[in-house]
Amino acid sequence: MSTQVSTESALSDEVKEFLRQFKEKDGSYKYVEQIDHMLPKDSTYIVVDYNDLVSNSTIESRFNENPDEILDAFARAIKEILQERFPQYAEKIKDEIRARIINFPIQRSLRQINAEIINKMTSVSGMVVRSSEIKPLAKEIIYKCSVGHKTPMILLRGLSVNSPTKCSDPKCTQREFRIDPESSRFIDFQILRLQELPEDLPPGQLPHYVDVSIKQDLVDNARPGDRIILTGTVRIEQDQIASVRSTSGFYRLRIDGNNIEFLGGRGKKSSRKTEREEVSPEEEKIIKSLSTNPDIYDRLVDSFAPHIHGHSIIKEAILLLVVGSTQRLLQDGTKIRGDINIFLVGDPGTAKSEMLKFCARIAPRGLYTSGRGSTAAGLTAAVVRDKTGIMMLEAGAVVLGDQGLVCIDEFDKMKPEDRSALHEVMEQQSASIAKGGIVATLNARTSILAAANPMYGKYDPFKNITENVNLPIPLLTRFDLIFVVRDIPSKERDTKIAKHIINLHSPSGIETRSLIDVDILTKYLAYAKRIEPVLTKDAEERILEYYMKMRNVESEEMITVTPRQLEGLIRLATARARLLMKDQVEAEDAERAIFLIESMLRDAGVDVNTGKVDLGVLQGRPRSEVSKMQLFMDVLKSLEGENKMAVEERLFIKELVKSGKFTEDEARSYLKRMLREASIYESKPGHYNRV
């Protein structure tokens, strides 16, 4: 026994020596300073960089042999150094002290965690998919017998404590014990589930996951949706099998967390960044030099999905969506949405999904999902029951994509009740859930890029957009931009597209001289998201002037744009200024935003009956329809008279034609339509009444 004690204390001394002696390049004693700062920061741990341990081979080799022993030695050494400086504080936190290891070199993927490395330390990267509530875990339980003798039981590893069989007092013969919670010691404890990162998935495999137990101040550090690197010791726990009475021979792997580092934006909880990687100074130089280029805007648009020919307006709009506008916080706590939503509807084979996929790939935080097979719970949040019977929240796609974007393909194939989950996300930017005793509102500050096919396969230009797309009207109005992608045969365009596609299949590929590299493009967009441009007077005037002009189009009480479109204009203009890395939104940005809205109106906002621009089309009934319907009902009402007579069809149609708004055929088809919509009914054959 004495040899073990001596090696333990020898190890502690070795560690203590290392902590005291280690000097940074600039001459500062890094670890001594960290220990000095423990009291003011009220922290119970110091962070040890593994790269510094390389200088001390004894300690380093111990890490690979027996990580628990060396971590205990670290805890003792830190406590001893702390005792010399702040004895009271050291006494107060003596059981909590520990070292956290960063930059651990042995990185494994989740698939490589197997029986070989039980009780060894490892470091693994993954995405947190769910986290349990925080529970107290007993570190030391004091049992009392009926006479009052105390018997302590200490939990060393694992999660189970044995109850004592005999009392600590040798003379006492009591066999009944009860727990004394006041003098027992508990720590915070939480279970996370870590899942493989999508980019690490081998082809044709399902993502693996592993449960991680997190203790003390690591608790609640990583939330669902975070990408982390976890350093910890691999443990086993017994698997209970319901049918087998005896102890089962099956065990489950679990990782005991020692430290969590965030992938991308390594930092505290408060300063989390949405970047996939931090932008290094060299990259910053490249980005700055790119942004000063006069033709940068066109180059950015060309670099977006270069394998798709044409569609430059849509590409430009998607780039603006990735960068987004600034979210404004008003003094009363109201938020004004800064995210842009775009909807693409169009013929099959116009590369809609391809653009969505590319967008999810280059966005600093992007998710791609398809409508068929996405449920409301999968998009917002689900409440799941844990194996311990606890209800847990599991984040869905729009919550994981918070401060990024979510691409939803096949938007029309979703079930209506699932689609309605997006109403709140798109305008209020949050996802609320009340289920199983959990009432929560989660942040979902995401931009949504959706794509759908028209109802009849191809887009019918003689019908309004609401008749072409099987979507509820309130959802359509929440999109800032709606693009109709039509596949119209034209000889020269078709030749260009065909050549482009054939080039893609030839060995030389795309001409990439002026294109920006995909990685740099991601960094550029991430960098642009930091800029907060402000509106200039010129831009304000341009936007206002356009808005007032649109509100007043040949007014026959014709409302064309709503304040939503005004906000959309401001968002688009700000996003364009951001993309060009300007601090101010200038008149040209406003002009471009107006151009984008105009091009949307030319496609989707034209009332096919009159050929005029009318946003009523997106809001259900265009103005022309509303006035016709009004007239139709008025004529019927006047013919019915006071005592609701049944109106003969022939007479009714004659009156309608007289009004000058209907031809005879139109009147007949309108009559049939109103019957279908149940606005009128046939009271006796050939006679009609209002419902």
Taking only the tens place, the pLDDT of each residue in 154-201 is 776 666 667 777 777 777 777 777 887 887 888 888 888 888 877 777
Q: Does the residue 284 lie in any domain?
A: no
More confident residue, 611 or 284: 284
659 and 568 together in one domain: no
Question: So what's the pLDDT on residue 511?
Answer: 61
Is the pLDDT reported for residue 2 higher than 50?
no
Q: Does the residue 537 lie in any domain?
A: yes
What percentage of residues in the chain have a pLDDT greater than 70? 84
172 and 63 together in one domain: no
Confidence of residue 305 (pLDDT cuts 50, 70, 90): confident
655 and 519 together in one domain: no
Is the pLDDT reported for residue 388 higher than 70?
no
297 and 385 together in one domain: yes
Q: Is the dihedral of CA 329, 330, 334, 335 positive or negative?
A: negative
Question: So what's the pLDDT on residue 245?
Answer: 60
- The 10 Å CB-count burial string (b at 16+, else e) for 48-80 is bebebbeebeebeebbeebbeebbbbbbbbbbb
Q: Give the Cα separation of 220 and 243 in Å (integer).
A: 36
Confidence of residue 599 (pLDDT cuts 50, 70, 90): confident
67 and 214 together in one domain: no
Whole-prediction pTM: 0.64
Name the least confident of 224-233, 505-514, 576-585: 505-514
Name the least confident of 255-269, 588-602, 608-622, 623-637: 608-622
Which domain, by its residues, includes 520? 291-604
Q: Does the residue 138 lie in any domain?
A: yes
Burial of 91 (0-12, 13-18, 19+ CB in 10 A): exposed
141 and 161 together in one domain: yes
**Count of domains for the chain:** 4
Q: At what angle do helices 2-21 and 57-65 cross, to 10 degrees?
A: 130
152 and 46 together in one domain: no
CB 560 within 8 A of CB 510: no
Is the pLDDT reported for residue 610 higher than 80?
no
565 and 635 together in one domain: no
Q: Give the Cα separation of 452 and 397 in Å (integer).
A: 19
Question: Which positions ≥6 away from 124 have C-beta within 8 Å?
Answer: 107, 108, 109, 110, 113, 194, 210, 229, 230, 255
Tokens of 437: 């005793």
79 and 135 together in one domain: no
**Residues 69-92, mean pLDDT to the nearest whole number:** 83
Question: So what's the pLDDT on residue 132?
Answer: 76
Give the domain-ending residue among 554, 574, 604: 604
Tokens 């001409």 correspond to 511
**Residues 667-673, mean pLDDT to the nearest whole number:** 72
Chain segment 100-132, per-residue pLDDT in tens: 888 888 788 888 888 888 888 888 888 887 777
Question: Which positions ≥6 away from 450 have C-beta within 8 Å?
Answer: 341, 342, 343, 344, 407, 408, 409, 411, 479
Q: At what angle do helices 587-604 and 537-551 cross, to 10 degrees?
A: 20
Confidence of residue 445 (pLDDT cuts 50, 70, 90): confident
Closest C-alpha to 90, from 134, 35, 19: 35
Q: Does the residue 358 lie in any domain?
A: yes
Q: Does the residue 318 lie in any domain?
A: yes
**Residues 287-293, mean pLDDT to the nearest whole number:** 78
328 and 383 together in one domain: yes
Tokens 């006047």 correspond to 638
Q: Which one-letter amino acid corresponds to residue 490?
A: S
Q: Give the Cα separation of 113 and 122 in Å (integer).
A: 9
Any idea what the CATH number is for the domain that residue 175 is in?
Answer: 2.40.50.140
Query: Which value, to the nearest 10 degrees, does the dihedral of the CA atoms of residues 303, 308, 311, 314 take?
Result: -60
Instruction: For residue 585, list its beta bridge partners.
Output: 535
Question: So what's the pLDDT on residue 604?
Answer: 66
Is the pLDDT reported for residue 271 higher than 60?
no
97 and 220 together in one domain: no
Chain segment 502-518, per-residue pLDDT in tens: 887 877 666 655 677 77
Give the domain-ending residue among 46, 67, 102: 102
674 and 600 together in one domain: no
Is the pLDDT reported for residue 266 higher than 50?
no
Confidence of residue 1 (pLDDT cuts 50, 70, 90): very low
**Residues 408-421, mean pLDDT to the nearest whole number:** 79
Q: Is the dihedral of CA 667, 668, 673, 678 positive or negative?
A: positive
Q: Which one-letter amino acid corresponds to residue 679?
A: S
CA angle 33, 38, 40 (to 5 degrees): 105
**Residues 216-242, mean pLDDT to the nearest whole number:** 77
Is the pLDDT reported for residue 96 higher than 60?
yes
Any idea what the CATH number is for the domain that residue 673 is in?
Answer: 1.10.10.10
Name the least confident of 297-306, 497-506, 622-631: 622-631
Is the pLDDT reported for residue 247 higher than 70?
no
295: Cα within 13 Å, side-chain hemisphere? 7
Give the domain-ending residue among 76, 102, 128: 102
Q: Does the residue 340 lie in any domain?
A: yes
More confident residue, 209 or 373: 209
- The 10 Å CB-count burial string (b at 16+, else e) for 136-171 is ebbbebbbbbeeeeebebebeeeeebeeeeebeeee
Q: Tell me the pLDDT of the chain averaged across its residues.
A: 76
Residue 235 in 3-state DSSP? strand
Confidence of residue 623 (pLDDT cuts 50, 70, 90): low
Q: Give the Cα separation of 211 and 226 in Å (integer).
A: 15
The enclosing H or E element of 668 equals helix 664-676
Chain segment 29-67, per-residue pLDDT in tens: 888 888 888 788 778 888 888 888 777 777 778 778 888
Any idea what the CATH number is for the domain that residue 36 is in?
Answer: 3.30.1640.10
Q: Give the Cα separation of 480 and 562 in Å (integer).
A: 11
Tokens of 323: 């960068």
Q: Does the residue 280 lie in any domain?
A: no
More confident residue, 80 or 386: 80
Q: Does the residue 279 lie in any domain?
A: no
